[in-house]
Structure 1
Amino acid sequence: MRKYQLCTCILMVLISQSYTISDSAISGGEKKKRCADNEYWNEKGFCCDKCHPGDKLKEKCLGPNTRSECVQCENGTYMENSNYNVNCFTCQKCTKPNSREISPCTFKMNSECGCNPGYYFKKFAGLDWTCSLCKECGRGQRKTGDCTEKQNTQCECLENHYKTGKNSCEPCVKCRAGCSHLCISSTPPNPFRSVSPTASPGMLPHVLVPVCACITVLALGVFMVYEGIRLWKKKRHSSSSSQKSSPASEDQPFIITVSLEAINESVPFTEQPSKIEQSGKLPDCVPREIKIHEFFYFVLDEVPIGRFKELVRRLEVSEQNIDRSEQDHRNCKDAHYQMLKVWSDSGSGGGSHVLPFHCIQKFVDILKDMNLASCADNIESKFLSQDTCAPH
Structure 2
Amino acid sequence: MKHAPFILAAVATGALLAASGYYVGRASQAATVATGAATDRKPLYWHDPMVPGPRFDKPGKSPFMDMQLVPVYADEGGADGGVKVSATVQQNLGIRTAAVRHAQVASSFDAVGSVQFDERLTAAVQTRVAGYIERLAVRAPAETVRVGQPLATVYAPDWLAPLNEWLALKRSGAAPELVAAARERLRALSVPDALVQQSEAAGTAQARYTLNAPLGGVVAELGVREGMAVTPGMTLFRIAGLSKVWAVVDVPEAQALNLRRGQKVSATLQADASRTFDGELREILPQVSAATRTLQARFEVDNRDGRLLPGMLLRLQLHEAQATRLVVPAEAVIRTGTRAVALVRRDGGGFEPRELKLGAELGDDVEVLQGLVEGERVVTSGQFLVDSEARLKSALGALSAPPAASMPKESAQ
Q: TM-score range by the shorter chain?
A: under 0.3
Query: TM-score normalized by structure 1?
Result: 0.21
Query: TM-score normalized by structure 2?
Result: 0.20
- Structure in which a larger fraction of residues adopt strand: 2
Q: Larger relative CO (CA 8 A, sep 6+): 1 or 2?
A: 2
- Structure in which a larger fraction of residues adopt helix: 1
